[in-house]
Amino acid sequence: MTAPAPPPASPVLGVAAHDGIVAHGLARSFGAVHAVRDVSLTVPAGSVTALVGPNGSGKTTLLLILATLLRPDAGAVSVAGVDAVREPVEARRRLGWMPDTLGVWEELTCHDILASLGRLYGMGKAEASARADEQLAWVELTEFAHRPARVLSRGQQQRLSLARATVHRPSVLLLDEPANGLDPAARIRLRDDLRAMAAAGTAVLVSSHVLAELEEMSDRAVFLREGATVATQEFRAADDLARPYRIAGPDPTARDTLVR
């Protein structure tokens, strides 16, 4: 049986339900490389927002800024009502971060990894252990609870990463290419889990360069190109737009047959 998604962190942390992410004019350079030039976006609570752009568009750098792991050269970020630039530690209490690559303590068991994260977020030993069990049941990794993380497959590592990112019940969740390594069934499960968390009030931002992968799980999309925001679109609005198609081939008569 699939365990229910964790509840949002708002009741635990006292975060207002309407708070998500608000960013204005973000910029970050690495020497002469302008990874993020001018990004402004809003990620409302209770929704899934897709961050879409080709490789090199600045998505990962932007997520690192939003996760308070990189300080922007310019701009402002609010995470769950907290100024993430001036108060990064307080912002981290309210957000969960799932990077593209997990990075685990390979000799620790899956349970110990999650329990250790719980302790770092201020839980007592018994509470952290119980929370670890809950998270492992949620991502269907209970059978690996007392096995070292190094035995996990890529897809299982992604599920452990999601459990780790949400162990403290964050009200804001950031995910960088979370479907990498997942089989079709696991991708559907990820979609359902993110929708459930959004329905419970979490502000979810999911990054991918594959728009089709995000359409079913997301309410809206923010498009990046060359480190800047170029568009924001509600997916419901996108469904109402005409979508032109072009068919090319060596035989024009075959084309006419295809479109009938």
User: Mind listing the pLDDT tens digit for each residue in 99-127?
Assistant: 987 666 778 999 999 999 999 999 999 99
pLDDT interval class at 255 (50, 70, 90)? low
> Domain 1-94+171-260 - what CATH class?
alpha beta
Q: Average the pLDDT over 8-13 and give the result.
A: 33
Digit-coded pLDDT (tens) for 39-66: 999 999 999 999 998 888 999 999 999 9
Q: What pLDDT is recorded for position 87?
A: 95
CA nearest to 171, candidates 7, 3, 4: 7
Q: What pLDDT is recorded for position 82?
A: 94
